[in-house]
Amino acid sequence: MTALRHIFRDPVAAFGLLVVLFAVFVAIFAPWLAPYPDDAFESHLLQRLRPPSMEFPFGTDNLGRDILSRVILGTRNALVVAVSVVLASMLIGVPLGLAAGWKEGWMSEVLMRVTDVFLAVPQLILALALGQLIAPGIGAAMVALALTYWPFFARTVFAETRRLRGALFVDALAGIGASPARILFLHVLPNAAPAILVRATIGMGFTILTAAILGFLGVGAAPPSPDWGLAVSEARQHLPEAWWFPTFPGLAILLLVLGFNLLGDGLRDAADPRLRRSRR
Amino acid sequence: MSIPVLQVQGLDVELRSERGVARILQDVTFTIPRGGTVGIVGESGCGKSTLLRAVLGILPKGAETPRGAILFDGQDILTDHAASARGRIGFVPQDPYLSLNPVFRAGDQILEIMRRHAPGSRADHKRKIVELFRAVQLPDPEGALRKYPHQFSGGQRQRLLIAAALACDPALVVADEPTTALDVTTQREILALLRRLVAERGLSLLFVTHDFGVLASVCQEVTVLYAGRVAESGPVRAVLDTPRHPYTRMLLACHPDRAADLAGIPGTVPAATAQPSGCRFHPRCPLAQPSCAAAAPPMQALGEGRAVACPWYETPLPETALA
Amino acid sequence: MAFYIARRLLLALPALLGLVFLTFVLSRVIPGDPAATLAGDAATPAQLAEIRAQYGLDRPILEQAVIHVRQVLTGDFGRSVFSGRPVAEEIAQRLPATLELTFAALLLSTLLGVPLGLVAALNHNGPVDHLVRVLSVGGLAMASFWLAIMLQLFFSMELDILPLRGRVDVEIGMPPLRTGLVLLDSLLAGRGDIFVDGALHLVLPAVTLCLPGLATIARFTRSGVLETLQKDFVLYARAAGYGRVRLAAIYVLRNAVNMVVTQIGLLFGALISGAVAVEAIFDWPGLGTYAVQAILSADYKALLAVTLVVGVVYAVVNVLVDVAQALIDPRVAEDAR
């Protein structure tokens, strides 16, 4: 738990952790925290586009829904999407990276070339193409994001496995007859865990941002979902009058991504002192 | 008659940091006459690098307010390191591998120094560098101008840096252990080169080292530093033959190879933040008297240009101290 | 050096070929029956068969793959379902707009990011340094589409000092196209008015797009300079009498810039991704709007072609980055041998 202590000693990283924990809390208790929990789906045309007030701190949107409630409810969506995408990419990328890193040969060569192909196009573009071809909607967008993000995990784990395979203790384990699977999952994987964790944290921020872009472009979440990116997109037709409409969902994206990025930075520093360059 | 090239007088340097104030140098005094070659010898941590940085005007952060004086050509350069002094003090650094910027051509790096500190056009400068490259026996002097640092060997790089030090016709050359990073054979070649250049060009040289042997091969005079203070000084031959300060005596007795390293003597070099009172060597000195802890003994002139900071310089060391 | 460039180009080829193959898989496997997609819902079996024959869809899948690769390599991306025009032609028309925007953003982020990073490093732990830290993390967390809208709201709608959308004002019109870059073409045509108008239109999109780059470049310049300042050769240069300004601005920066250049290659991906949303918001007639339009009209040929072209541009940029690195640091090209 030295990593955690390191995070707390670094005020900036601690702030990131705080934001993330806060977001998780909000996501879990969203229906109880939101002043108008049913506003994700109901519309009240009589109170359209009201500016921020005591009644509606963030104002109301084009269908008269409370924006604060929708931002709170949207937190859950954003986190669920990001966690699922990152977990799915991990499930694909980590075993492939382990396998390719452990055994040299044409299989590992092919695998790494495949990651090259996926990394040859910016993730968003690939996700757009994939998501559209599978089927429009948030489900397909999530699949597409996972399909474009796994190579990052594969690369990270591959590098760690290659590094550890040369380590003395792995030789010793092989010498006493431990099976490769046992060595990989009980010894190599825990050692690669910090790198995976850092990659996952940064991936969370990245996925939230990319998913928001997809939502904004109309390829991700569909109405009446309280998705933040979608809300900004819906707000465009009501500018410049309803300035509050795009502002608050956008700030929510900024804050949450900032939280994950700061936390990721802090974790990276804690995991590898050699990389502490960034805040020297 | 001429004024000395360099006069260091009562130089005090303190380094302030979070861990407190470290007295790096205290009351350091010595003189380099025109054409003179003076070596500063001492263990690592004795303050010789700081002394060198003071002369070069690049004292580290936290050591900005030294006391005393450093007169270069009669002009005080300690508090205001005048631009006129730069370039006129050539510098040969310790590590030829790390002292050249890898992304610039070696020739351009020397030209930049000359552009600021030497008269004449760029073409003049280039001609001068090629001539110097020839003088330091760098192979293919013309081609060397266009090469990058990594294309030279360690010995070649040190030759190149010596040429750079001479580029602006310096009144004084300062060398910081210029051979420690090199292998033994190359070391000998570089020392021979320095000796030849000093003799041919009548250079004034300040040479910092931890190695008496190396020092003796290039310098006429020596100043021995211990924990930031001068222990003794004088002509190299005389100091080597009849060392006076107990520190120098023990050093030379237990190190026939003449590396300044007191590993064989009980005790350690004191930390600069916790210097003992009085003579800084007294906790380790077999001749120490109670008076040694009370006040630092002053430098005593011994004639023939020698001086020592110990009143017991004629008392023989006990046999056990040299075992 | 020529050898080095050739080598880098060759290394980029397998990934690009893989990408061509991937687009083939995507176009043939995922949409179900491509013939049905092409023919539309109301097609009769006879029409379907005709289309299959016409597009070679009745041949063995491997043969189809070879045909696909051959078509792509000759620049034949098929016809857009949406407009009926050749996709290659449409992309060629739109690529310059995207390049102009992304390069403007890249230029802006470099011109601002490098001095910011340098100043931050020289004032280590000072106010500027902290500002740059906040900026460099915040800049990467900002959703480009949101920033774009906020800038529009403020500068175009509230203050009305910068154009809201488009590449040039309709009343002024485009300059005669030669390179497809408005700023360059207007200068070539000697039309100062178009140049100014084009530049004004470029401000908001480029500023929006430059932020992640600015953040990254400032951050890496800062850490690069801090690292370089620790080196012995900096101490030597100071002792040898280099001037302060020259030492910081040239001697140290050139070492630091090498670490920054690596980042520019990676950044280009973020720039292109950002461009999709930014172009859509500012009605910028580039690949981004084309991609969005392709999505909305389910024009998968156009979409895959965009993916491929972006992949090629990305690869070329990364080769250029490697070459730039070799030019800055002569050791790079030699180590690669």
Q: Does A124 sit within 8 Å of C15, measured CB to CB?
A: no
Average pLDDT estimate for C276-281: 89
C-alpha distance from residue B170 to each of A77, B50, B125, B221, B272 (Å): 72, 21, 15, 20, 33
Q: Is pTM beyond 0.80 here?
A: no
Contact list in A for residue C300 (CB cut-off 8 A) is 129, 132-133
pLDDT of C262 above 80: no
Chain A, 187 to 206: residues with Cβ < 8 Å from chain C are 205
C-alpha distance from residue C53 to each of C35, C44, C116 (Å): 10, 14, 60
- Residues contacting B221, CB < 8 A, separation 6+: B32, B36, B37, B38, B39, B233, B234, B235, B236, B305
Angle at B55 between CA B51 and CA B60, to 5 degrees: 65
Q: Does B91 sit within 8 Å of C233, measured CB to CB?
A: no
Which chain B residue has the Cα nearest residue C325? B103
The shortest C-alpha distance from A278 to chain C (Å) reads: 6
Q: Does B98 sit within 8 Å of C231, measured CB to CB?
A: yes
The shortest C-alpha distance from A121 to chain C (Å) reads: 5
Q: Of C250 and B77, which is predicted with more confidence?
A: B77
Q: Of C37 and A140, which is predicted with more confidence?
A: A140
Contact list in B for residue C238 (CB cut-off 8 A) is 58
Specify the pLDDT at position A277. 41
In DSSP notation, B131-189 reads HHHHHTT-SSHHHHTT--GGGS-HHHHHHHHHHHHHTT--SEEEEESTTTTS-HHHHHH
Band (A279; pLDDT cuts 50, 70, 90) = very low
Q: Which residues of C56-95 are buried (b: 16+ CB within 10 A; e: fewer)?
A: ebeeeeeebeeebeebbeeeebbbbbbeeebbbebbeebb
* Average pLDDT of chain A to the nearest whole number: 83
Contact list in A for residue C34 (CB cut-off 8 A) is none
Distance CA A279, CA A207 (A): 24
Specify the pLDDT at position A257. 93
Paired residues of B21 in beta bridges: B16
Specify the pLDDT at position A254. 92
Highest mean pLDDT among A42-46, C249-253, C313-317: C313-317
Q: Does A240 sit within 8 Å of C26, measured CB to CB?
A: no
Instruction: Specify the range with the lowest mean pLDDT, choosing from A126-130, B266-270, C100-104, C154-158.
Output: B266-270
Distance CA C48, CA C33 (A): 10
Distance CA A66, CA A48 (A): 9
Q: What pLDDT, in 10s, does the model give residues A95-114?
A: 999 888 888 788 888 888 88
Band (C38; pLDDT cuts 50, 70, 90) = low
Q: Does B99 sit within 8 Å of C236, measured CB to CB?
A: yes
Q: Which amino acid type is present at position C238?
A: R
The shortest C-alpha distance from C220 to chain B (Å) reads: 18
Distance CA B40, CA B50 (A): 12
Q: What pLDDT, in 10s, does the model give residues C124-151?
A: 878 888 888 778 888 888 888 999 999 9
Inter-residue contact A100 to A93 (CB < 8 Å) = no
Q: What pLDDT, in 10s, does the model give residues C285-326?
A: 999 899 888 877 777 778 888 888 888 888 888 888 888 888
Which of A129, A205, A213 comes nearest C303 by C-beta? Answer: A129
The shortest C-alpha distance from C204 to chain A (Å) reads: 16
Element housing B8 (H / E): strand B6-17
Contact list in C for residue A117 (CB cut-off 8 A) is 15, 18-19, 21-22
Task: End-to-end CA distance of chain C: give it in Å, rounded.
Answer: 11
Specify the pLDDT at position B222. 93
Inter-residue contact B23 to B66 (CB < 8 Å) = no
Task: End-to-end CA distance of chain B: give it in Å, rounded.
Answer: 48
* Average pLDDT of chain C to the nearest whole number: 82
Which chain B residue has the Cα nearest residue C239? B56
Distance CA B172, CA C12 (A): 55
Secondary structure (3-state) at B90: strand
Which of C147, C153, C227 comes nearest A243 by C-beta? Answer: C153
Distance CA B180, CA B215 (A): 12
Average pLDDT estimate for C88-94: 89
Inter-residue contact B54 to B70 (CB < 8 Å) = yes
C177: left (phi over 0), alpha (psi -120 to 50) or beta: beta
Specify the pLDDT at position C36. 66
Q: Give the max Cα distance, chain B.
A: 66
- Residue A134 CB: number of other CB atoms within 10 A? 17
**Percentage of residues of chain A with pLDDT beyond 90:** 19
Angle at B184 between CA B178 and CA B187, to 5 degrees: 30
Token digits of residue A230: 């979608």
C245: left (phi over 0), alpha (psi -120 to 50) or beta: alpha
For chain A, domain boundaries: 67-274
The shortest C-alpha distance from C244 to chain B (Å) reads: 12
Go through chain A and tell me how many residues it has: 280
The shortest C-alpha distance from C191 to chain A (Å) reads: 33
Q: Does C246 sit within 8 Å of B83, measured CB to CB?
A: no
Q: Does C158 sit within 8 Å of A232, measured CB to CB?
A: no
Token digits of residue A25: 């809390």
pLDDT of A56 above 50: yes
Which of C137, C143, C306 comes nearest A209 by C-beta? Answer: C143
Specify the pLDDT at position C270. 78
Specify the pLDDT at position A20. 92
Inter-residue contact A228 to A253 (CB < 8 Å) = yes
Contact list in A for residue C133 (CB cut-off 8 A) is 12, 279
Q: Does B91 sit within 8 Å of C330, measured CB to CB?
A: no
Q: Does C31 sit within 8 Å of A120, measured CB to CB?
A: no
Whether A277 contacts chain C with CB within 8 A:
yes
Specify the pLDDT at position C14. 81
Token digits of residue B275: 């210097």
Contact list in A for residue C145 (CB cut-off 8 A) is 212-213, 216, 229, 232-233
Inter-residue contact A147 to A130 (CB < 8 Å) = yes
Average pLDDT estimate for A67-89: 91
The shortest C-alpha distance from A102 to chain C (Å) reads: 23
pLDDT of B83 above 70: no
Q: Does A240 sit within 8 Å of C16, measured CB to CB?
A: no
Candidates C124, C233, C329: best to mutate against B (most CBs of B within 10 A) is C233
User: What CATH class has A67-274?
Assistant: mainly alpha
Q: Does A254 sit within 8 Å of C141, measured CB to CB?
A: yes
E-strand stretches of A1-112: none
Read off φ and ψ for residue A223, nearest 5 degrees: -55, 150
Whether C235 contacts chain B with CB within 8 A:
yes
Which chain C residue has the Cα nearest residue B151? C331
Average pLDDT estimate for A52-60: 82
Secondary structure (3-state) at C157: helix
Inter-residue contact B293 to B277 (CB < 8 Å) = yes
pLDDT of C23 above 80: no
Q: What pLDDT, in 10s, does the model give residues C190-243?
A: 788 888 888 899 999 999 999 988 988 888 888 888 888 888 888 888 888 777
pLDDT of A83 above 90: yes
Specify the pLDDT at position A276. 45
pLDDT of A278 above 50: no
Highest mean pLDDT among A122-126, A274-278, B123-127: B123-127
pLDDT of A275 above 60: no
Token digits of residue B251: 């050093």
Token digits of residue B79: 């508090």
Q: Does B112 sit within 8 Å of C233, measured CB to CB?
A: no
Which chain B residue has the Cα nearest residue C330? B103
Instruction: Specify the range with the lowest mean pLDDT, choosing from B14-23, B252-261, C131-140, C294-303.
Output: B252-261
Classify burial at C160, counting beta carbons within 10 Å of its beta carbon; exposed 0-12, middle 13-18, buried 19 or more. exposed
Whether C41 contacts chain B with CB within 8 A:
no
pLDDT of C81 above 90: no
Secondary structure (3-state) at C319: helix
Which domains does chain C possess? 2-73 (no CATH), 95-329 (1.10.3720.10)
Q: What pLDDT, in 10s, does the model give residues A148-186?
A: 899 999 988 988 888 887 776 777 777 787 777 788 888
Q: What pLDDT, in 10s, does the model give residues B142-190?
A: 888 888 888 898 889 999 999 999 888 888 999 988 888 788 888 889 9
Band (B306; pLDDT cuts 50, 70, 90) = very high
**Percentage of residues of chain A with pLDDT beyond 70:** 95
Q: Do chains B and A touch (3 or more CB pairs under 8 A)?
A: no
Half-sphere exposure of A4 (CA within 13 A, CB side): 2
pLDDT of C182 above 70: yes
pLDDT of B22 above 70: yes
Specify the pLDDT at position B233. 93
Which of A133, A210, A213 comes nearest C300 by C-beta? Answer: A133
- Omega before residue A240 within 30° of 0, cis: yes
